[in-house]
Chain A
Amino acid sequence: MTVLDSKVPEGSLEAKWDKHKFDLKLVNPANKRKYSIIVVGTGLAGASAAASLAELGYKVQNFCFQDSPRRAHSIAAQGGINSAKNYPNDNDSIFRLFYDTIKGGDFRAREANVYRLAQVANNIIDQCVAQGVPFARDYGGLLDNRSFGGAQVSRTFYARGQTGQQLLLGAYSALSRQIGEGAVEMFNRREMLELAIIDGKARGIVCRNLVTGEIESYTADAVVLATGGYGNVFYLSTNAMNSNVTAAWRAAKRGAYFANPCFTQIHPTCIPISGDHQSKLTLMSESLRNDGRVWVPAKKGDTRPPAQIPENERDYYLERKYPSFGNLVPRDVASRNAKIVCDEGYGVGSTGQAVYLDFADAIKRMGKDVVAAKYGNLFDMYHHITDENPYEVPMKIYPAIHYTMGGLWVDYNLMSNIPGLFVLGEANFSDHGANRLGASALMQGLADGYFVIPYTIGGYFADAELANVTPDHKVLKGLEKEVTEKANKLLNIKGEKTVDDFHKQLGKIMWDKCGMARNAAGLKEAKEQIPKVRDEFWKNVKVPGNNGEFNQELEKAGRVADFLEFAEVMVIDALQREESCGGHFREEHQTEEGEAKRNDEEYAYVAAWEYKGVGEEPVLHKEPLTFENVKLTQRSYK
């Protein structure tokens, strides 16, 4: 085990980023065009990075597996983006945003990173407005804010219930401009399948052209991964169907450390599962909790329709247990409490795995029109999916996997332990600790892409010695061969079960044993079961078609194969972390009131795992977390 160097600069918290920027060496404008950069992913982090780096003059190649960069899953974020602008004059500040974020993350994030995030958040809003992002405004024409996800100030900027879409389209438009100008070369429908490390540095990637099936190599002076999270390891999540861990995991297999994989976020307000056919879960923005009230019947197994349950026979359990935050407690707390009431038998709906989110009072107070203006598109979506009208009957909700705080380990420059491999957005582990606050993911993705990587990558280039590398380099040729062989191997198994069968099987293990609540016994079972599923997969999966064609099953097979390896590391991480923090709730470690109980003495560190081979125990590296500016407290939302 080594202790990882986060390269956090010296100095006071407030001065670190400015000082660091000054210390970073610059690349002369004329030299910038000599450097090439591969950016994988076109979500908020990827698109903003590709556009910003191209604007600086770097040669950028950008890759996405979708048919267009505009489709990346950032588009589905609904609620909003945080920034400490303090426009509403409610005593917000950069320090308060920093404090809320680090506390919300249950003190498992790096202070300096989180502070920088809070600092650049203001620039993000300015930048997005300049790009023409149509944020909500008041009648004076100024920007509107709302309070969101457990914050006691209104610092969230939003564009109806489609903030992620609008921010992504903003970044996509900046990227499109660079593509149009020839500064970014865009590769759609390409999936990264390998990372090439040459002379110890990340220098290229191997992709599959998803239309033709051709295996292609690309080289550059640095590789930036912005490939999102791994929530689909659970099979059912609010992630898009094609979101996957492959790019990050292949990097991990080439030596990048994977940090805190067990930190996964369960979102409290999702549409419950309707049956075995379920292919994904749909999130309803947690902004709904601003006006909706969460309740279950006070009597177990009460099957009366909600309207017939009188007020005094309802249990508004969040308001009862957390009088000061009420329905606005952080996501992990809200989720766990929903699970508790359902496990105790108070759940509603046909499966008993749901609680009510009721807007009757809000409609009475504000009128249907105001509610519709605020949440109309969410209500419509709910209505489409469930065939129930939320203006008339309370919504039914249940927690679901939504976001993954863990990711590839990066230092303060967002560079992994592999020189030249940078990781941005959800794909890295850096800013959310053990739990992410609402409206912070968009903030982090854009912060990384617009305002961090453009500076830090220059610092890397200024010092790095980079030999000329072309796609016919023997390392890339070797990787191409490996990738092709792996695909052929999958195609030739010709077994009895489909890729989805295995994915569902893995997902169930993960949700049951490594989901909302975990314990040592369950995790050990999972650790035994996963390799068995993996072995069976490689003996009995059926992947139709050929490699040299458009083959969606082959794409899925490769992704599930990686999930089957990655899941084991997640479980190992959850097992070693003998504490509860944020989204990682170990049943053995809870307070008398059932809240997460941290162990700061022993576990205030980042766990970064080094891959050692399939089925081999990964090696743990630690980055100790020191807190000089905040006092570690037990989170309380009472």
Chain B
Amino acid sequence: MNLTLKIWRQANAQTKGKLVTYQISDISPDMSFLEMLDVLNQQIILKGEDPVAFDNDCREGICGMCSLYINGRAHGAQSEATVCLLHMRSFKDGDTITIEPWRAKAFPVIKDLVVDRSAFDRIIQAGGFVSAKTGAPQDANALPVAKRNADLSMDAAACIGCGACVASCKNASAMLFTSAKISQLALLPQGQAERDRRALAMVKTMDDAGFGNCTNEGECEAECPKAIKMTNIARLFREYYRASIVSEEM
């Protein structure tokens, strides 16, 4: 099939970018979207021009590296999958496809479609862990966890940190990401000791990073490739209220 691509090109963080139009032909419906971009880049390189930069790595939907806003949707229009699992069979011959980077103040563009998501790392560094030093903890089975809680914890832990929630939120809020980690640990007995500190520190870091606020719309939940639910955000709120009002943590 033949396609028209409108791709955001931006040389680096300092310069202004713009959408540039490319034509591409003979695309097989079995190709993945990223393989289609590979084909485009091969053509651009042979023409002596600068290929389109985009982050990608595992290409099986788990590393969270790929991050494209395709035709106005984070990871494209398919549900519960990252761009790397999007295939060209989802498009028709003659389609025009607009490809943009994640857009958020907290995710500055590095080049073209590549953005800097280190704000997510900083949120985790603030408290997204159980302080269990490597050593000889108690036997793994000494701490039973209700299956329901273990399953809910795993649902939240499935977050791949891709940033689609921020990208698709009209406020560029990172609440779903932050709540996924807080929920994972709040649902487990291992996470209890630090739950108040964790909630306060992670929310503060999130706020300081320049993300917007949550307005409970749920676009994040709809776009999340790992189907992380807004119930996690509600749990984050509860954790935060508890930490702010009930606990003695400052």
Binding site for B on A (CB under 8 A): 48, 51-52, 55, 66-71, 73, 75-76, 85, 87, 123, 125-132, 134-143, 159-160, 162, 165-166, 169, 172-174, 176-177, 179-180, 186, 188, 211, 238, 240-242, 274-275, 277-280, 282-283, 380-381, 384-385, 387, 450-451, 454, 496, 498, 500, 542, 544-545, 549-550, 552-553
Contacts and interface: CB of A to CB of B under 8 A. Distances in A.
Given A67-B116, A241-B56, A277-B38, 12 more contacts: A68-B161, A126-B136, A137-B145, A141-B150, A142-B141, A174-B132, A188-B118, A240-B63, A275-B31, A384-B81, A544-B50, A553-B51
Contact of B45 (A132, A173, A211, A553): A553
Contacts of B78: 384
Nearest to A496: B46
Interface in B50-67: 50-51, 53, 55-65
Interface in B128-145: 128-141, 143-145
A552 B137 CA distance: 43
Contacts of A76: 58, 60, 62-63
A71 B138 contact: no
A179 B145 CA distance: 29
A159 B61 contact: no
**Which 7 residue pairs spanning A and B have beta carbons closest together?**
A141-B144, A180-B125, A173-B129, A130-B137, A130-B132, A134-B154, A129-B140
B68 to A, nearest CB: 14
B87 interface: yes
Contacts, number: 217
Given A132-B190, A282-B59, A500-B42, A384 B49 contact: no
B134 A450 contact: yes
A123 B163 CA distance: 34
Contacts of B65: 66-67, 71
A274 B28 CA distance: 10
Interface in B85-114: 85-87, 89, 110-111, 114
A280 B153 CA distance: 31
B32 A279 contact: yes
B118 A162 contact: no
B243 interface: no
A134 B118 contact: no
B29 to A, nearest CB: 9
Interface string B153-187: 11001101100000000000000000000001100
Contacts of A132: 129-130, 132, 153, 184-185, 188, 190-191
Contacts of B188: 132, 134
Contact of B137 (A68, A127, A143, A169): A127
Contact of A277 (B35, B45, B160): B35
B53 A552 contact: yes
Interface residues of B, number: 80
Contacts of B44: 544
A69 B154 CA distance: 20
Contacts of A141: 144-147, 150
B2 interface: no
Nearest to A279: B35
B132 A127 contact: yes
Given A275-B28, A550-B53, A130 B45 contact: no
A136 B125 CA distance: 26
Contacts of A180: 125-127
A498 B42 contact: yes
B168 to A, nearest CB: 19
Contacts of A138: 147
B208 interface: no
Contacts of A134: 150, 153-154, 157, 184, 188
A66 B117 contact: no
Q: Residue among B144, B154, B160 with the most chain A CB within 10 A?
A: B154
Contact of A550 (B30, B45, B114, B139): B114
Contacts of B3: none
- Chain B CB count within 10 A is highest, among A275, A277, A545, for A277
- A48, A125, A130, A454: residue with the most chain B Cβ atoms closer than 10 Å: A130
A125 B114 CA distance: 36
Contact of A279 (B34, B128, B145): B34
Nearest to B124: A176
Given A173-B129, A498-B46, A68 B140 contact: no
A70 B157 CA distance: 13
Contact of B134 (A55, A162, A283, A380): A55
B121 interface: yes
Contacts of B154: 134, 136, 159-160, 166
A343 B62 CA distance: 33
Given A279-B35, A384-B85, A48 B134 contact: yes
B163 to A, nearest CB: 10
B121 A69 contact: yes
B12 interface: yes
Contacts of A172: 124
Contacts of B62: 75-76, 162, 165
Nearest to A271: B60
Interface in B191-238: 191
Nearest to B90: A387
Given A75-B58, A166-B157, A173-B130, A123 B136 contact: yes
A599 B51 CA distance: 50
Nearest to A138: B147
A75 B118 contact: no
A282 B82 CA distance: 14
A361 to B, nearest CB: 27
Contacts of B157: 134, 159, 166, 169
Given A134-B184, A544-B49, A73 B58 contact: yes
A75 B82 CA distance: 15
